[in-house]
Amino acid sequence: MNIDLEIGMRLLISFAIGTAIGLEREYHSKAAGLRTMIMICLGSTIFTELSISMGGGFSDRIASTIVTGVGFLGAGVIFKDGMTINGITTATTIWISAALGMAVGAGEYFIAIVSSVVVLIVLTGLEKFQLIIERWHQSRSYKITSCHSDFEKHIQENLKKLKLEFKKKRELKEGDRFILVYDVSGKEKKLDHFNNVLKEDERVKSYDY
């Protein structure tokens, strides 16, 4: 058994990077948390180290396999909730954690450490900035169901009254129910007010966004 201190250091660096990103994800109760990020980052480092030690034409093949495998992991945390798709940020975090692990395994410490700092800034520092932007402007896709065929005019009047931008995407009929799908954008406060209008309107049987 050959003891290679540099490889040991790379594994520890990979563990530290995975821990830092994983703690941030765990703090926000995301699907892929602390242990997941450590395993992804560390696993990518090990695979990269093995591909380098094996030599030949294995390096490119193993690297491409890591990217493909991580893609499947990322797809597993993306899910649709009503009219909204969630988990894309977590999926991209899994993807970049694998890239950081590969960078450490290849001995590119500067790329790995600087990129890790940037990733943490994006995940933590820019979240508040994103919330500020969302308060000023949001886009939501509404699916509104009613048993009244003339409720569309009433919906559009409320949208215009609230000065919200809107565009009708689809119009469907299921049995005795009429379904409208709108893309609506504007300030978060006005969108929440529109939600209250829909809740209080007896002609609206259900809605989601």
Under 8 Å between Cβ of 94 and 32: yes
Distance between CA atoms of 135 and 100, rounded to whole angstroms? 33
Q: Which residue has the tokens 């508040």?
A: 128
Q: Which residue has the tokens 């009219």?
A: 83
> What is the arithmetic mean of pLDDT over 126-148?
86
CB atoms within 10 A of CB 93: 24
Distance between CA atoms of 132 and 134, rounded to whole angstroms? 5
Per-residue pLDDT at 58: 60
Under 8 Å between Cβ of 103 and 41: no
Q: What angle do CA 134, 138, 143 make, to 5 degrees?
A: 140
Distance between CA atoms of 104 and 20, rounded to whole angstroms? 15
Prediction pTM value: 0.71
pLDDT digits (tens, 9 = 90+) for 183-198: 999 999 999 999 999 9
pLDDT of 55 strictly over 80: no
Q: Which range has the worst mean pLDDT, 67-71, 79-83, 158-162?
A: 79-83
pLDDT of 201 strictly over 90: no
Q: What is the mean pLDDT of the chain?
A: 87
Decide: residue 176, CB within 10 A, 0-12 exposed, 13-18 middle, 19+ buried. exposed
pLDDT of 83 strictly over 70: no
Q: Secondary structure of the chain: what % helix, strand, coil (to 5)?
A: 65, 20, 20
Tokens of 150: 């003339």
What single letter denotes the amino acid at residue 136? W
**CA dihedral of 8, 13, 14, 19, whole degrees rounded to 10:** 130
pLDDT of 82 strictly over 70: no
Indicate the pLDDT class of residue 75, thresholds 50, 70 and 90. confident
Domains in the chain with CATH codes: 5-134 (no CATH), 137-208 (3.30.70.600)
